[in-house]
Structure 1
Amino acid sequence: MNLSGKTVYVTGAASGIGEAVARRCHAEGARLALVDRDAERLAALAQSLSGDAKHVMTRVVDISDETAVAASVDAFAEQHGRLDIAINCAGILGPTGPLHATDTAAYRALMAVNLDGMFHCLKHQLRHMHAREQGSIVNIASAAGLVGFPSAAAYTAAKHAVVGLTRTCAIDYAEQGIRVNAIAPGGIDTPLIRATTCATPEGQQMIESMHPMKRLGTPQEIANAAVFLASDEASFVTGSVMAVDGGWTSW
C-alpha cells in the first residue's frame, strides 16, 4: 500500500479518524493536503508530521463552504500538478433524540457538513481527477449509513446519503479510471464519540454492546482500511462500502 509520491487530500484531518488517516498516509510516503476547521490542532498535526512544508500543506476550511473547498483543492492540485487521492473524513454527530423533538436549525447544520460538505468535496475532487482520467476517493460514512441508529435520525439520513453518493459516483466515473469507495465504521474511539455517546460509562457500554466484538474500534483500524481502498492494491474495487464495524451490521 505504498503511497510514495501520491498526492492525498484529507478532510477532517485535525483529529480522530482524519488524523489517523493523515498519519498513515504520511508514513506511506504521500504528499498531503490536510483540511479541517480547527486551525490550532491542524497546525500541531502538520508540525508533528514533517519538517518539509512541501510535503504537508494545510488549509483551514469548513467544508460546508463550497468556495473554500474549491479553493483548497485547486491550490493543492496546482502545487503538485495533480490530485491522486482524496479521503473525506470530516463530519459531525449533530442533534440526537426523537425526530419530532429535533431542532430544525441543528438538523440543517448537520446536513450542511455531513451531506452538503461531502457533495462539495466530491464535486471539486472529481473535477480535477476527471481532467486526468484517474484518481481514487474514499468517503467515511458510518455503520449508520447501512442500518438505522437509535435517536440519530439526521445523522443516519446523512450517512445513508453518503453511501448513495459514493455508489453513484463510482458508476459515473468508472470509465474515466476514477474509483470511489466508502468505509462504514462502527463505534470508533475518537474525541467526537468520547464527547457524545460515550461521555458516560453507561453510554460507552451501550455502544460497545452493539458490536459483536464488544469494544470500540480505533482510528488506526479505519485508517488501515482507507489506505487500502485508496491505494493501487484495490485497483478493481469501486462502489464498495466496506463495513469496519466489529460486526455491528452483521446482527
Structure 2
Amino acid sequence: MVVSGLSGSFRVPTFARSRVRRPSPIPYRENMEQSRVHGFAVVAGAAGGIGMEVAFTLASAGARGILFGDTNYDGVANAARESKSLASNPTYQALSVKLNVTDPSSVKAMMDLAVKEFGRIDYFVNAVGVDVAEYVPFEETADDDYDRVLEINAKGSYLLSKAAVKVMKDQEPLQVHLGRHGIRDVGRGAIVHVCSAMAVGAVPWKAPYVASKHAMLGLTRACAMDCKPYDIRVNQVCPAWTKTPMYEEDCRRSPLTPQVVERLAARKRPMEAYEVAASCLYLCSPGAVSITGTSIMMDCGVTIGPVL
C-alpha cells in the first residue's frame, strides 16, 4: 500500500498490514436482549440517589414506561421529565406521583395509577430508605427514632411489596423476544429492594438502621417464598457505601468515613449510584429469570474480612 504525505510517498510493508485485525460485529439482539427490560416499571424513592439512577437505567435499557414515586414530588417530577431524554424505547412514558410509604392508601394509589396508565407492572424497585437521626450508642437510642426508621425502611418495604404483588399476580406473564432463543415467558413480575450491607452485619451507633435492614432481608425472603406459585421474583441488592446524599451526611457526621472506605473497600472508594442501579437492572432482566429470594452483596469486599 502506497501512502502519500508532505515529504513524498512511501510503501507500507506487507507484514504491517497483516497485523491489523478488525473485530467481528456483535449482533446486538443475540448478546444483549437478556440484559434489557421489556415492560413497565414503578420505582419508589426515585427523586434522587440510587432510586433515580435505577429509573434512569431502566429507561435507557428499554422500559416501556416508568412511574416515579417519592415523598419529594418536585424532585420526582423533574426526574421523570429528565428520563425521557435517556429512554431507548420510542413509546416510552414517564409519570410521577407523590408517595408516602407509611400510608397504605398512598401506596395503593401509586400502584393503581400505574395499572391505569400502563395496564400492568412488570418491575417494581423499592429504593426508599432513611438513616438514624443521630449516631448514638444502642442504649441511648431514641424510641421515636427507632419507630420512625423501622416504619419507613421495614414497614414501608412491606406495604410496597404487598401492593405490587397484588397487581402482578393477576396479570398475564410477560412474553419477550430473546433473539435466537425465541419468545420466552419471563414471569408475572420482578420486585427488587435496595437494602444495605447492614442486612447481614452491623456498625456502631446505628441500631434502628441495622435492625430495619435485617428486617428487609427477612421480608424479601418471605415474600419470595410466597410468590413462587405466582411466578413473581423477589430479590434485593445490599450495597455498602454509595455516593448519595446519605453518604454525604455520613461524611459530615463522621469525617473519618472517607478514610475508612479507602482502607476497607476493595476499590478504595464509595460505589456510584449507577453501579448499584446496574445490579437492579440485572435482577429485573430476563437474564435473572431463575433468581428469586436472593441478596446481591455489594459490600466492596468488606464482609469477606480484612486484608492482612
Q: TM-score range by the shorter chain?
A: over 0.9
Residues of 2 paired with 1:190 and 1:157: CA distance?
Answer: 21
1:76 aligns with 2:130: no
* Deviation per residue, 1:4-44 (Å, 9 max, x gap): 3x111101101110011011011012110111111221122
**Aligned equivalent of 2:56, options 19, 23, 44:** 23
CA distance in structure 1 between the aligned counterparts of 2:75 and 2:239, rounded to whole angstroms: 23
1:196 Cα deviation after fit: 2.6
The separation in 1 between residues aligned to 2:104 and 2:49, in whole angstroms, is: 23
Structure 1 residue 110: deviation in Å? 0.8
2:190 to 136, 161, 170: 136
Does the 8 Å CA contact 1:144/1:156 hold for their aligned counterparts? yes
AA aligned to 1:24 is: T
Report how far residue 186 of structure 1 moved: 0.8
Aligned counterparts of 1:193 and 1:35: Cα–Cα separation in 2: 22
Determine what percentage of the aligned residue pairs are the same residue. 29
User: In the alignment, what sits opposite 1:158?
Assistant: 212
Could you tell me which runs of 5 or more consecutive residues in structure 2 were left unpaired when the two chains were aligned.
1-34, 173-187
| 1:107 matched residue in structure 2 | 146
Deviates more, 1:46-55 or 1:229-238: 46-55
Q: What TM-score comes out, normalization by structure 2 length?
A: 0.77
Q: Any conservation in 1 of the 2:197–2:240 contact (CA below 8 Å)?
A: yes
Could you tell me whether the CA contact under 8 Å between 1:243 and 1:249 is conserved in 2? no
| Aligned residue runs from structure 1 range 184-223, under 5 A | 184-197=238-251, 201-223=255-277
Deviation for aligned residue 1:53:
10
Residue of structure 2 in register with 1:232 after alignment: 286
* 1:208 positional shift: 3.9
Point out which structure has higher relative CO (alpha carbons under 8 A, 6+ apart): 1
Root-mean-square deviation (CA, aligned residues, Å) is 1.8
2:73 maps to a residue whose letter is A
Give yes or no for contact 2:77–2:97 (8 Å, CA) kept in 1.
Answer: no
Query: Displacement, 1:212?
Result: 3.3
Counterpart of 1:85?
123
Aligned residues: 250
2:203 aligned residue = 149
CA contact (8 A) 1:198 1:204 kept: no
* Alpha-carbon offset, residue 210 of structure 1: 3.5
